[in-house]
Amino acid sequence: MFNLETSSLETKKESGFTLIELLISTVILTSLIYLAALSYSLFLRIWKQGGIIADTAVNRYRTDILIRSSLESIYDYYVTDPANERAGLYYPFFKGDQDGVEFITLSSVFLKGSPAVARLGIKRTNNSKEKHFEIVYEETPLRDLYVRYNDFSGDYRYSMVVYNDVKDFKPRYFGVWEEKHGFKRHGGLARTLYKWQSSFYGKEKRSIPREIEFTVLRQDIHETLHYSIRTGNIFKTAFFRREF
């Protein structure tokens, strides 16, 4: 009798896990695997979003640097037009108004080391009911191109979007407003008056602006960008402005 009870107890101890214990273990293991997969999926999603944000920030910084380099390398490239070509009148190729600016730059965005004809301005889009537009930079190489002030077709070879979903864009130009040549009553040359203007044309001012300011409104982002320009060579200016 004693031997039978002892053997039955030993048999129970050697029988292993019960069905309920196996089910509980399986549920726990499945839950751990599910939580691990969920955590990995969440981490991967956050990592991808962070990478996209980082790439966007890098591209934004790169675009800003390229545009600044182009604008601050505006060159006083003298041209003429059919009406004044025989008279020998020349003026810097620069056109600035509320739609954008057109100029000659020594720092090409697309062809490094080469001068180019460039334009930065608005391009209207009709993607929504609200008045949104893009700020686009366009460029074409200057080489083998005879530029006339009024007859340039504006056939740009390269372009890139600088800003999109723009609600408002306001350029300003700081440069020559008025100048009087000759001697004052008390001696000395008259001073040139400089001021901020809503438009600036090289043909009228016979110069390029000293500064350009862009105010850009995008959604809730309001930016004011300043660009300083070297106004050119005074000896070149004196040569082309023989009327003074």
Tell me the per-residue pLDDT of 83-139, one tens digit each, with 9 for 90 and over.
Answer: 887 888 888 999 999 999 999 999 999 988 889 999 999 987 665 556 788 999 999
Which is nearest to 66 in space by CA: 9, 106, 113, 109?
109
Q: Which residue has the tokens 């549920």?
A: 27
Q: What is the pLDDT, as a whole number, of residue 9?
A: 47
Whether the model clears a pTM of 0.85, i.e. scores above it, the answer is no
116: left (phi over 0), alpha (psi -120 to 50) or beta: beta
Distances 170 to 122, 205, 217, 224 between C-alpha atoms, Å: 10, 21, 9, 9
In the structure, what pLDDT confidence band is assigned to residue 189 with cuts at 50, 70 and 90? low
Where is pLDDT greater, at 35 or 157? 157
The predicted-structure confidence for 38-61, as pLDDT tens digits, reads as follows: 777 777 777 666 655 556 777 888
